[in-house]
């Protein structure tokens, strides 16, 4: 029994904390192992454990609601960077939107991409209307997981890989309106959309005819050059570096160019993002179909670099589409060009359909596909 007046040793509180850093949430636990965070990227060679006096001064950060790798940092380092640390997550008070969605006045059925199936079948979460266009509206879901933006489109709109397809356009919806997504439905504008069917945004391409790849590359370049639809970027600079790096298989050049292109250009989907999306899909699908594993390997590295901090580098809609492209998911216009290049359907009509998308999006996507096809050919011939 301690003597009167003596102080009882204070127990070390090692309960998890919720840490917010760089716009992302992590659950922090004490850990004896530390790695450094250098320029926003994990660097296993920079050890910070020497700055912590003992293992209790070291935190391991695990993704909270996301799919990113964990990291470990010291207590003293946490105090030196702009982070907010709170207690373990507790029940939140009801905020706008209301804790319960209002009763829907109408019910409609829709078909959705498999890419958004985990989001739509997850527990119901609040969302907001990000943008409303004549043929589509975009919902941003309060979630760290991807896809966090869902497009609700009609049959006349482009069937994006993150889309829910309806027979008719929803009326009376404005940007900023509240919505709910989950448990198999979307509720917005007083309408409950129940998803009844699903489609695959990354259908298997099948084996490519090697004899058709080189002629397809030439045809794609000629159609792009003759089209009045021009890409939103000039050929010099980052696009040229990306083309050269992908052809040679240089990770340094390819990733450097990709970092420069993320978020480059105006609009809901900047030109640099559209080019990268076309490239990622082409490398993955055509590389596998043509027997060029080096191209698929390059796609994996580029996908990791592009999606690492896409949310902080570009628009929410474009960030989700980059995540989709990293998995090989694209609109039918893009997959149609890939099928044409592989010899499974006429190529020229498919290229014209792709070029008609948006103001510059179609031309930027076609440019990325061309760079990817050229890289696949280079790696196939050099294997």
- Domain co-membership, 79 together with 118: no
- Domain co-membership, 216 together with 361: yes
Q: Are strands 163-166 and 178-182 parallel, antiparallel or unpaired?
A: unpaired
- Domain co-membership, 290 together with 368: yes
- Domain co-membership, 230 together with 194: no
Rounded Cα distance between 82 and 327, Å, is 33
* Domain assignment present for 44: yes
Task: Quote the number of domains for the chain.
Answer: 3
Give the model's pLDDT for residue 101: 58
- Domain co-membership, 75 together with 126: no
Look at residues 164, 199, 234 and tell me which one is the last residue of a structural domain: 199
Distance spanning both ends of the chain, measured CA to CA: 76
Give the model's pLDDT for residue 274: 97
Give the model's pLDDT for residue 210: 86
149 phi/psi in degrees, rounded to 5: -125, 130
Give the model's pLDDT for residue 100: 57
Tokens of 163: 């889309």
The per-residue DSSP string of 103-147 comes to: PPSEEEEEEEEGGGHHHHSSSPEEEEEEEEETTEEEEEES-SSS-
Give the model's pLDDT for residue 63: 42
Rounded Cα distance between 336 and 345, Å, is 8
- Domain co-membership, 248 together with 334: yes
Look at residues 199, 226, 243 and tell me which one is the last residue of a structural domain: 199
The share of the chain scoring above pLDDT 70, in percent, equals 72
The Cα-based distances of 147 to 140, 144, 214, 316, 320 in angstroms read 9, 9, 35, 10, 5
CA 116 to chain centre: 12
* Domain assignment present for 93: no
Rounded Cα distance between 304 and 327, Å, is 10
For residue 341, how many C-alpha atoms fall within 13 Å in the half-sphere facing its CB? 32
- Domain co-membership, 232 together with 358: yes
Angle at alpha carbon of residue 347, lines to 344 and 348, rounded to 5° = 160
Give the model's pLDDT for residue 382: 64
Tokens of 35: 């790695």
Query: Which residue numbers in the chain have pLDDT < 50?
Result: 1-2, 4-98
Q: In 3D, which of 136, 170, 135 has the Cα closest to residue 150?
A: 136
Look at residues 84, 114, 136 and tell me which one is the last residue of a structural domain: 84
- Domain co-membership, 78 together with 114: no
* Domain assignment present for 359: yes
Give the model's pLDDT for residue 45: 29
- Domain co-membership, 291 together with 377: yes
- Domain co-membership, 291 together with 228: yes
- Domain co-membership, 337 together with 374: yes
* Domain assignment present for 66: yes
* Domain assignment present for 204: no
Q: Tell me which residue range forms the domain holding 316.
A: 210-381
Q: Which residues pair with 107 in a beta bridge?
A: 192
Q: Whole-model pTM?
A: 0.74
């Amino acid at each position: 029994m301690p003597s009167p007046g003596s102080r009882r040793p204070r127990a070390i509180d090692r309960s998890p904390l919720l840490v917010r850093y760089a716009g992302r949430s992590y659950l922090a636990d004490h850990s004896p192992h530390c790695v450094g965070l250098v320029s926003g990227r994990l660097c296993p060679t920079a050890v910070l454990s020497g700055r912590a006096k003992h293992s209790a001064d070291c935190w391991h950060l695990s993704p909270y609601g996301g799919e990113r790798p964990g990291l470990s940092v010291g207590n003293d380092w946490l105090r030196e960077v702009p982070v907010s640390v709170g207690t373990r997550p507790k029940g939140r008070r009801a905020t706008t939107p209301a804790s319960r969605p209002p009763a829907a006045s109408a019910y409609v059925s829709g078909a959705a991409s498999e890419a958004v199936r985990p989001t739509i079948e997850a527990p119901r979460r609040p969302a907001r209307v990000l943008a409303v266009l004549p043929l589509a509206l975009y919902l941003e879901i309060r979630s760290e997981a991807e896809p966090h933006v869902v497009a609700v489109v009609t049959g006349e709109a482009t069937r994006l890989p993150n889309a829910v397809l309806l027979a008719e356009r929803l009326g009376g919806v404005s940007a900023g309106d509240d919505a709910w997504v989950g448990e198999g439905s979307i509720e917005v504008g007083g309408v409950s959309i129940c998803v009844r069917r699903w489609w695959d945004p990354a259908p298997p391409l099948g084996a490519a005819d090697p004899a058709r790849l080189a002629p397809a590359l030439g045809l794609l370049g000629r159609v792009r050059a003759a089209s009045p639809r021009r890409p939103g970027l000039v050929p010099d600079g980052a696009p040229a570096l990306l083309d050269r790096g992908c052809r040679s298989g240089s990770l340094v050049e390819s990733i450097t160019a990709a970092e420069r292109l993320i978020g480059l250009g105006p609009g809901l989907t900047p030109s640099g993002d559209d080019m990268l999306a076309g490239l990622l899909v082409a490398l993955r699908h055509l590389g596998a179909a043509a027997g060029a594993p080096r191209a698929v390997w390059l796609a994996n590295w580029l996908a990791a670099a592009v999606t690492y901090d896409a949310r902080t580098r570009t628009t929410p809609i474009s960030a989700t589409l980059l995540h989709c492209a990293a998995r090989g998911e694209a609109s039918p216009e893009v997959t149609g060009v890939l099928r044409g290049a592989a010899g499974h359907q006429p190529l020229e009509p498919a290229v014209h359909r792709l070029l008609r998308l948006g103001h510059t999006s179609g031309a930027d996507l076609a440019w990325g596909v061309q760079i990817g096809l050229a890289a696949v050919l280079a790696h196939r011939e050099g294997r």
